[in-house]
Structure 1
Amino acid sequence: MVKLSREGDTLFISNGSEELRLTRAEFLELSQSLRLVMDQLLHDDQRKGGPIPVFVVPVSGVVLGSDSLKTAVHLQLSDHQGNTTRFALSPSLARLLVERLPDRIAEIEKAALSPRSS
């Protein structure tokens, strides 16, 4: 099992027999690439004909705001463990999200009311 731990500004990635030490800056730089690498790995699985796993984090909290210059909508999503991810959306992208949300919500509500076939 791979374990991630932290002591001060040093982070450790360990598999029990080997350990990799990263500075805070190195870890933050590396973390920006993790999603891309994960998507590439999942794409490789898809090309091999394997199942396509989807990684979804249930969100338990949302905070909306804007930047100090009022050029972007800030969207902060939190999971049930308190981990947060922050996004900056352009006004046009935020509008697109607002336009599409009612349709997605209606689909979910309709499916909840429909009897499921077994």
Structure 2
Amino acid sequence: MHAFDVLGDPVRRRILELLADGEQPAGTIGDAVRREFGISQPAVSQHLKVLREHGFATVRAEGTRRLYAVDPGPLREIDAWLDGFRRFWTPPLAALATELARGRRERRLREDTTNERTDP
């Protein structure tokens, strides 16, 4: 299974989002995913298995609990692959940031001018 096939599933993406906040017990992940997606605990376990088998998540035992965490390796590989495409969105996003800053500056200048006229 290709990395994008793994990440193409919204349940697995959500699990990774939950794990991005730090290590989580399987039960906590399962509760959140079952609540949000309405799937069974065995289905959640299958998604966790796919993430583990493809290197996106690690698991360690702590007593009877299983604690999951993100393994950043495959995500770094995806990021490196995306590097070749960043040129398509980086300049437009930079231009948008410039326009937003310009708009904020102009609004601030208008407010300052209005305040100067109304101040006694």
Q: TM-score, normalised by structure 2?
A: 0.25
**The structure with more strand, counted as a fraction of residues:** 1
User: Looking at both structures, which has the greater relative contact order when contacts are Cα pairs under 8 Å and sequence separation is at least 6?
Assistant: 2
Q: TM-score, normalised by structure 1?
A: 0.25
